[in-house]
Chains A and B, each alone.
Chain A
Amino acid sequence: MVTLTIEGRPVTVAEGTTILEAAKTVGVLIPHYCYHPGLPVAGVCRMCLVEVEKAPKLAPSCATTVAEGQVVHVHSDKSLDARKGVLEMLLINHPLDCPICDQSGECELQDYTYQEGREDSRYREPKRFNPAEDFGGDVIYVPNRCILCTRCVRFMDDVAHEPTLNVSERGDRALIGKFEGRDMTHPWAANVIDLCPVGALLSKDFLNKARAWELDRTSSICPNCTQGCNVIMETRENQIVRMRPRANENVNAFFMCDWGRLNYRWMNEKSRVEQPMVRTGNTGLTATTWEAAITAAARALNGKKVFVAASPMLSNESLFLLTQLMQGGSGAFRVAEGDEAPLPGVEDLALRRERAANVYGAETLGFRKTKDLLGGLGQGDVLVIAGEDLEGVDASAISRAGDVIVIGSVMPSGVDRASVILPIANFSEEEGTVTNLRGRVQRFTQARQAPGETRPSWLVLGDLLGAMGKQSNFFLPSEVFARLASSHKSFAGLSYDRIGFKGLPVVDAPQTGPKAPIAVGAA
C-alpha cells in the first residue's frame, strides 16, 4: 500500500494505482477525456495534468502511478492553467453547435468548459471543417466535434479485437477514420457512442430524439439475453428512448451489445391488455374490476392441477409465486435463441444464445425449459399463461386444458377460450430481480408507468394466492423476495438490500461468490 496526499486529503491505495484512480477514492474527480477505466491508457488529451510537488513538470494523472509521500495538487493555479489551455485548444476547431448536438447536456467538453474553461476564445482564424460520416452499424461520426481522445479506436482494437477505426492524417487535420473495407457492424461497436466523451460519435437510433436533460434514468437490467448486462433505461414522456450500459465489473464491465441496446421498442408496445377481464355467459370476455377478476381466477384455480406456461422474462418473484399456484402441477417455458456474440476483450461477456432475462431463475425455480411449451399440459389441467405471447406455438394443445387463465401484458395469440385475463406490467414497468446465466441475482426497477389498470405481476400473483386462501400478504416486491429467500435454498440469505444494484450470486451459483473483477483489454 502507498500513502500520499491528494488535494490535502490523505489517501492510501494499492501500489501501481494511478493518481487519477487514487483521487477518485477520496472524491476528487480529476478532469479527463482520453482516460477510461475500461480501456488501455493513452495519455493523449493532457487534460488530467496535475501538479506533483517536487516534480519538474505537470504529471498526466492517468498515466502516473502513485508514490509514497507524494503531494498532489489537482486544483492549483498551475494545473488549472494547463487545463484551461487544453480546453481552449479543444474548442478552437470545435463548431460550438451545442444547440443542435445530441450530446449536449451529457457532454464532458461542455461540462468542463463551464466548470473551468475560458469564457471567450482568442481564436480568430477559420475553423477546420470535415463532413459527418456514416460509420455503419448504429454509429455516425461528426469529425468537427471530435477531440481525438482515441477511446473509440482503443475500444475497437483492444476490447472488440476488431481493428476498425484509426487516427487518420496528422496535426490539426487529424480525424478518426475507418480502415478500408471495415465498418462499425461489430456486434458490440455501438459502445463507442457511450465511450465518446463529446458529440462526435452519435447513435443513429437516438439521433435528434431527445435532449439529455429531458430524460428520466432508471437503473435496470437488459432483458434481452441471459448475460444480464446492467443498464440505464432512459425514458422521455414514459417512452423508453435509449438503453445504455451501467458499469458492473462482475457482469458487463462498461459495455452492452448493440442487439440488446437497440431492442427496447417491445417494452413501449402500444397494443396491450389494459383491463382485467372475465368471461361471462354469452357476452364473452368483459372488462371488470380487479377484485372480480382475481376472485374469478381463484375460483377457477382452486383445487385444480395447474400447468403454467411462463415467460423467462418474468422476475424471480413472479416465477416463485407462480410455482405456489401449481398445486401439484408443473411449469414450463421456452426461450428465443440467436447467435452468441462475445466481446473478446472482456472475460465472460457475450450476447448470449438464449435471448431472455431470467432463464437461470426459471430453471432454478423448477420450470422446465422446452421447445414444446404446452407439451406438459395434462388433460383437464388449468392452463395459466404467464407473460407468454404464444407466438408460433401450436394452440391446438390448449384444447386439453380444463380452463385457461391469462396473466400477461399482451393478448396471447391463438387463445380464444381464456376465462380470466389479468393484465400485468412488462419488464420495464415493474420492479424485481432476474438471475443471469452465472446465477447472479440482479435487481431492476420501474422505468415506465404501466398503462391502464395494469398491475405489477408480483402484486397480481400475490393477490391471487391470497384469494386462494394461501399465505400471502405482499405490499412490496422486496417482501416477495424475502419469502423466496426463506423458502428456496438457492436464494437463502439474499435480500434486496444485500443485492443492491451490483447483484449477488445465488448460493449454488456455478461460480460461487462474485468472480474476480473483469480484466478489461488484456491483449
Chain B
Amino acid sequence: MGYPHLPHSRETTVLSKYFGDAEARTLDGWKKRGGYKALEKALGMPPADIVNVVKESGLRGRGGAGFPTGMKWSFMKPGDGKPHYLCCNADESEPGTFKDRELMRWTPHALVEGCAIGAYAIGAETAYIYIRGEFTEPLYWMEQAVKEAYAAGIIGKNAMGTGKRIDVHVHKGAGAYICGEETALMNSLEGRRGNPRIKPPFPAVSGVFGMPTTINNVETLIAAAPILLNGADWYKKMSLSNPKSTGTKLFSVCGNVQRPGTYEVVMGFPFKEFLYDLCGGPYHGRKFKAVIPGGASVPIQTMEEAEATLMDYEGFVAQGSMLGSGGVIVIDDAQPMVTVIARIARFFAHESCAQCTQCREGTAWTTKILERIRDGEGTMEDLDTLLDIAEQMTGKTICVLSDSCAVPVVSGIKKFRGEFEALIQGRRFHPVNAAVA
C-alpha cells in the first residue's frame, strides 16, 4: 500500500498488506495473519520442489539486477559436503529506495519466514540478514522478530519441530553503500573491508567464508512465501505486460510528487497512471520534468519516456532506463538538472570503495567538473570530457558502482543538454515556481 498513505484502489497489496498495522510486527499478530504457514508447508517439501515452484513463478531478483530467483537457487548444488549460506541483502542504500525498510519495519516476521524458506531451499542451515547501519528501526524490529521466532521454535536447531536446523542471524553494517554489492556484503559480513570481489568465482561457488552462498534481496525472499502458499500460477498471472516479469513489485516514490511513499503494483502497470493517479501528480503549479525510476544508478527518463513506460523489467528498458530497485525519484521543472546530477555524482564519489582506478578517480573527477558547471564555471569541452570519463568508467571495473555514476551523467547530458549549455553560456537556471503547493 502507498504507506504512509491509505492504500490506493489500484494497488495490489501482497507484500505491503500490513504496512501501518503495528500488530503484524509481533509473532502472534503475524501468525493471526497467516504467518509461517508457508514455512510450515515448505519444510514438508523437498528443497528441489521449492526451487521449482519459485522457478515456475517467474520471480526475479528485486534488488536491481532482476536475475531469476529460482535459477539462482538452483545453482546451489545439494550434497556437495560444504556448508551453504543464505545472505539476505537488507543493505538498502540505493538513493531513492526505501521499500525494504518498510518491509522490515512492518513485517519483520515475513522476512524471517522468507529467509527460513530460502535457506531450506538452497540447503543452508544459516541465513544472515545484513542490514545497513543507518536502519536502526528496522534493525530493532528484525532483532525482535528473530528473538521471538527462536523462542517459539520456528527457527533454530529444530525448526517448527521438523528436526531441520535453520539459524537466522541479523548483522548490522556500518553504513557503506558499497556493502549492498553482494561480494562486498560478504567481505563486510566476514569482518573485512567492504570491497567487492572479482567474479568469478561467483557466490554460488565461493561466497561468504568461501562457501557456496546465495544472496537475495529482502523483497525477493518475502515474495517466496505467498508464492509457496498460493502456487506459481497465481503469481505468474500477476503480469500486465511482459510475461517474463511476474508478480507484484514495491516502488518507493520520492521527490517532487504529491504523495511520496511505498506502492505495490502488478508488474506492467502503466507508469503514467502510477505517477499521476497513485502518487497524486506534481505539486500545484508544477510539471514533472524527469524521473529516475530505479534508484540513482539507472538512466534518467524524460517525461515522454516515463509516460510511455509499462512498469516491468522490460518496460523500463524499452523506454531508456531500468527497473533497478524500484526507487522512483521524481524531478519537477523547478529543479536544475545539473544540480541533481552533480548531487548524484557526489554520492557515488563519496561511496566509491577506492579499489579500481576508474571509479576512485573518475567519480571524484566527474563530480568536480559537474559542480564547476553548476557554479557557472564550466566550458563546452567539459561536456566532452565528462562523456569520455563516463566511457572510461563503464564496463571496466570490478563492480558496477563506477558504471552507476556514469549512467546518470551520460543520460543527463544526452537528454538535458540544454540545461548544461545554458549554465556554461552564463544563462542561469530559473525555477519556474519556487513555491511549494
A residues bordering B, Cβ < 8 Å? Answer: 41-47, 49, 56-58, 60, 63, 82, 85-86, 89-90, 92-93, 122-125, 147-148, 150, 166-167, 169-174
Residues of B within 8 Å of A60, CB to CB, are 198
Q: A28 to chain B: closest CB distance in Å?
A: 20
Known A-B contacts A86-B357, A171-B360, A174-B354; the reply to A58 vs B396 at CB < 8 A is yes
Q: Is there contact, CB below 8 Å, between A147 and B396?
A: no
In the bound complex, what is the Cα–Cα distance between A57 and B399 (angstroms)? 13
Q: Which of B176, B353, B381 has the most CB of A within 10 A?
A: B353
A125-B392 in contact given A44-B398, A47-B357, A171-B360 (Cβ < 8 Å): no
What residues of chain B lie closer than 8 Å to A85, measured between beta carbons?
Answer: 358, 389, 391-392, 396
Asked, given contacts A46-B357, A82-B392, A171-B360, whether A63 binds B365 with beta carbons under 8 Å apart, the answer is no
User: How long is the Cα–Cα vector from A171 to B348 in the complex, in angstroms?
Assistant: 8
- Residue in contact with A43 in the complex, picked from B176, B361, B398, CB distance below 8 Å: B398
In the bound assembly, the distance between CA atoms of A42 and B369 in angstroms comes to 30
Q: B347 → chain A, closest Cβ, in Å? A: 10
- Using known A-B contacts A125-B368, A167-B193, determine if residue A82 contacts B396 with beta carbons closer than 8 Å: yes
Q: Which residues of A contact B391 (CB under 8 A)?
A: 85
Taking CB atoms, residues of chain A closer than 8 Å to B360 are: 89, 148, 171-172, 174
CB nearest to B365 among chain A residues: A92
Q: Check if A125 sits within 8 Å of B365, measured CB to CB.
A: yes
What chain B residues lie within 8 Å of A174 (beta carbons)?
354, 360
**Contact string against A for B residues 388-429, beta-carbon threshold 8 Å, 1 for contact and 0 otherwise:** 110110011110000000000000000000000000000000
Q: Across the two chains, which residue of chain B brings its CB closest to A41?
A: B198
Q: Is the CB of B357 within 8 A of A147?
A: yes
**Are B351's CB and A170's CB within 8 A?**
yes
Q: Does B372 contact A (CB under 8 A)?
A: yes
16 A–B contacts from the bound complex (CB under 8 Å): A45-B357, A58-B396, A82-B392, A89-B360, A89-B362, A89-B392, A90-B357, A122-B388, A125-B369, A148-B354, A148-B360, A170-B351, A170-B354, A171-B363, A172-B363, A174-B360
Central interface residue in B178, B351, B358, B395, by most chain A CB within 10 Å? B358
Residue of A nearest to B194 (CB): A170
Whether B356 sits at the interface, judged by CB under 8 Å, is: yes
| A47, B392: Cα distance in complex, Å | 12
- Given B198, B361, B369, B389, which contacts A90 in the complex, CB threshold below 8 Å? B361
> Please, which residue of chain A has its CB at the minimum distance from the CB of B369?
A125
**Residue on B with the closest CB to A45?**
B357
B433 at the interface (CB under 8 A from A): no
| B297: A residues at CB distance < 8 A | none
Q: B227 near A: Cβ within 8 Å? A: no
Across-interface contacts of A42 in B (CB, < 8 A):
355
Assess the A58–B395 pair: CB atoms within 8 A: yes
CA distance A29 to B369 in the complex (A): 35
Known: A43-B198, A89-B358, A89-B362. A57 touches B369 (CB 8 A): no
Chain A residue, CB-CB nearest to B379: A124
B196 smallest CB distance to A (angstroms) = 10
Assess whether B13 is interfacial by the CB under 8 Å rule: no
Q: Which residue of B lies closest to A153 (CB)?
A: B193
Whether the Cβ atoms of A172 and B361 lie closer than 8 Å is yes
Which residues from 26 to 42 on chain B have a C-beta closer than 8 Å to any C-beta of chain A? Answer: none
Q: A124 contacts which chain B residues (CB < 8 A)?
A: 372
Q: Which residues of B contact A56 (CB under 8 A)?
A: 395
- Residues of chain A contacted by B358 (CB below 8 angstroms): 46, 85-86, 89
Which residue of chain A is the closest to B178 with respect to CB atoms?
A: A170
Q: Which residues of the partner chain A approach B372 to less than 8 Å between Cβ atoms?
A: 124-125
Asked if B250 is at the interface of the complex by the 8 Å CB criterion, the answer is no
Cβ contact within 8 Å between A44 and B356: yes
- B364: CB under 8 A from chain A? yes
Q: Which residues of B contact A89 (CB under 8 A)?
A: 357-358, 360-362, 365, 392
- B350 close to chain A: CB less than 8 A: yes
| Interfacial residues of chain B within 314-354, with CB under 8 A of chain A in the complex | 349-354
- A166:B193 contact, CB within 8 angstroms: yes
Q: Which residues does chain B contribute within 8 Å of A171, judged by CB atoms?
A: 349-352, 354, 360, 363-364
The 3 nearest A-B residue pairs measured at CB: A174-B354, A85-B392, A172-B364
Q: Counting chain B CB atoms within 10 Å of each CB, which of A45, A47, A56 scores highest? A: A45
- Would you call B385 an interface residue if the criterion is a C-beta within 8 Å of the partner chain's C-beta atoms? yes
Closest to A167 in B: B354
B contact patch SS: helix
Contacts of A63 in B (CB 8 A): 198
Q: How far is the CB of B85 from chain A (nearest CB, A)?
A: 22
CB distance from A453 to the nearest CB of B (A): 57
Q: Within the assembled complex, what's the spacing in Å between the Cα atoms of A44 and B193?
A: 14
Given A124-B372, A170-B176, A170-B354, 9 more contacts at CB 8 Å?
A: A89-B357, A89-B361, A93-B361, A125-B365, A125-B372, A170-B350, A171-B350, A172-B363, A174-B360
CA distance A124 to B193 in the complex (A): 32
| Bound-state Cα–Cα, A171 to B405, Å | 12
Chain A CB within 10 A, most for which of B351, B388, B396: B396
CB distance from A57 to the nearest CB of B (A): 5
Q: State which of B352, B385, B389 has its C-beta within 8 Å of the C-beta of A170.
A: B352
| Chain A residues near B353 (CB-CB < 8 A) | 170
Q: Which residues of B contact A44 (CB under 8 A)?
A: 355-357, 398
Taking the closest CB of chain B, its distance from the CB of A144, in whole angstroms, is 13
Residues of chain B within 8 A of A93, CB atoms compared:
361
Nearest CB of B to A43, in Å: 5
CB distance from B216 to the nearest CB of A (A): 25
A residues near B351, Cβ cutoff 8 Å: 170-171
Name B365's contact: one of A43, A46, A58, A123 (CB within 8 Å): A123
In the complex, A42 Cα to B187 Cα: how many Å? 14
Which residue of B is nearest A65, CB measured?
A: B200
Inter-chain CA distance A422–B325, complex, in Å, is 84
Give the docked Cα–Cα distance between A43 and B351 (Å): 19
Q: Nearest Cβ in chain A — how far from B378, in angstroms?
A: 10
Residues of B within 8 A of A57 (CB): 395-396
Q: Whole-angstrom distance between the alpha carbons of A365 and B361 in the complex? A: 60
Residue of A nearest to B177 (CB): A170
In the bound complex, residues from chain B placing their C-beta under 8 Å from that of A92 are 361, 365
Q: A43–B197 Cα gap in the complex (Å)?
A: 9
Within the complex, the shortest CB–CB distance from A6 to chain B, in Å, comes to 20
Q: How far is the CB of A62 from chain B (nearest CB, A)?
A: 9
Residue numbers in B under 8 Å from A148 (CB-CB): 354-355, 357, 360
- In the bound assembly, the distance between CA atoms of A58 and B358 in angstroms comes to 14
**Chain A residues near B395 (CB, 8 Å)?**
56-58
CB distance from A390 to the nearest CB of B (A): 55
B191 to A: closest C-beta gap in Å: 12
Which residue of chain A has its CB nearest to the CB of B392?
A: A85
B349 touches which of A86, A167, A169, A172 (Cβ 8 Å): A172
- Which residues of B have CB within 8 Å of A49? 396
Q: In the complex, A150 Cα to B353 Cα: how many Å?
A: 13
Minimum CB–CB distance from B125 to chain A (whole Å) comes to 27
The answer to whether A46 and B361 touch (CB under 8 A), given A125-B369, A170-B352, is no
> How far, in angstroms, from A452 to B385 measured CA to CA in the complex?
64
Residues of A within 8 A of B381 (CB): 122
Q: How far apart are the CA atoms of A123 and B385 in the complex, in Å?
A: 9
B365 cross-chain contacts in A, Cβ below 8 A: 89, 92, 123, 125, 172
Expressed in whole angstroms, the Cα–Cα distance for A89 and B396 within the complex equals 13
Query: When the two chains form their complex, are residues B356 and A46 in contact, meaning their CB atoms are under 8 A apart?
Result: yes
- Chain B residue nearest to A123 in the complex (CB): B365
B130 CB to closest chain A CB (Å) equals: 19
CB closest residue in chain B, given A166: B193
